[in-house]
Amino acid sequence: MSVPVVGPSGRQLPEGSIEVWLASLHGELDEVRHILSRDELDRASRYHFDRDRDRFAVGRALLRTLLEQYTGEPRECIRFAYGPYGKPRLATGSTTFNVSHSEDVALFAFSRGLEIGVDIEAAPSRPTDRDVAARFFSPLEAHTLFGLSLEQQSRAFLSCWTRKEAFIKARGEGLSLPLQDFDVTLAPGVSPALVRTAWSATEPADWLLFDISEDCPGCVAAVAVRAAHAVVSVRRLGSWAAGFEPRSLALCAPS
């Protein structure tokens, strides 16, 4: 059994670098409970379906294990704090992260100090739901989408969805940020970008959007970052079942 190696513990991310990990959420709570905090175990116990419980637990164990590599903090000692709309962050330190899952895959994005958001959606085989687009997208986005050919629409729908979601996740405000109040690009061949916000004429220039779908087979995925320049790299984790074996637990500082 091998422990996944993602770099030396405590490795500092270069400024402007965003490292994204694509991982499978296969596994079970019992394989990872020694890594999780009491509140995470409580939350796991509240899931109605075992599959959702296991995916949450494995996701948190992966997040902790990856964060250990960036912070040098033993994974079971890492403490999270939560923003007013539930965005998790590290209680201490400058590493920032965001997580997204879709079915049994997850994306974990990390940076040094940048405001980042990530979203992944499994690409559907069904046609675009016009009602959903009309309800969730801005008028410009819906107009652009419905001007595309039917073949282009389902991909463009998910490009728009993931870019909008990555942006609201980077800001951490969840759906308290009205989805009609900002526009992103979505048409094929047009670079990912935030093009308008209703609250500021200058804010779009503060943000970069990246489409990382090519690195996420069968999915559409996006990263948003508040920065003038950033480099995104995506890595894929292999099987993680082997990475969770118990080791001697660290003595964590009292919180």
Ligand X SMILES: CC(C)(COP(=O)(O)OP(=O)(O)OC[C@H]1O[C@@H](n2cnc3c(N)ncnc32)[C@H](O)[C@@H]1OP(=O)(O)O)[C@@H](O)C(=O)NCCC(=O)NCCS
Task: Pick from 22, 32, 101, 186 the residue near ligand X by CB under 6 A.
Answer: 101
Among 70-78, 165-173, 234-242, 246-254, the segment contacting ligand X (CB under 6 A): 165-173
* Nearest distance in Å: CB 13, ligand X: 19
The residue among 98 and 154 lying less far from ligand X, judged by its C-beta, is 98
**80 touches ligand X (CB under 6 A):** no
The residue among 14 and 91 lying less far from ligand X, judged by its C-beta, is 91
Alpha carbon of 82 to those of 71, 79, 106, 122, 243: distances in Å? 18, 10, 20, 27, 27
**132 touches ligand X (CB under 6 A):** no
**183 touches ligand X (CB under 6 A):** no
The residue among 69 and 98 lying less far from ligand X, judged by its C-beta, is 98
The residue among 136 and 240 lying less far from ligand X, judged by its C-beta, is 136
Which of 73, 24, 51, 41 is CA-nearest to residue 242? 24
* Cα–Cα dist 37/57, whole Å: 10
The residue among 122 and 230 lying less far from ligand X, judged by its C-beta, is 122
Query: Does residue 208 contact residue 230 with C-beta atoms inside 8 Å?
Result: yes
**Which parts of 81-100 interact with ligand X (CB under 6 A)?**
85-88, 98-100
* Nearest distance in Å: CB 2, ligand X: 25
Which of 115, 75, 83 is CA-nearest to residue 98? 115
The residue among 110 and 136 lying less far from ligand X, judged by its C-beta, is 136
Among 46-54, 174-182, 230-238, 244-252, the segment contacting ligand X (CB under 6 A): 174-182
**139 touches ligand X (CB under 6 A):** no
Report the interface residues with ligand X, using CB under 6 A. Answer: 56, 59, 85-88, 98-101, 117, 119, 136, 161, 164-165, 168-169, 172, 174-175, 179
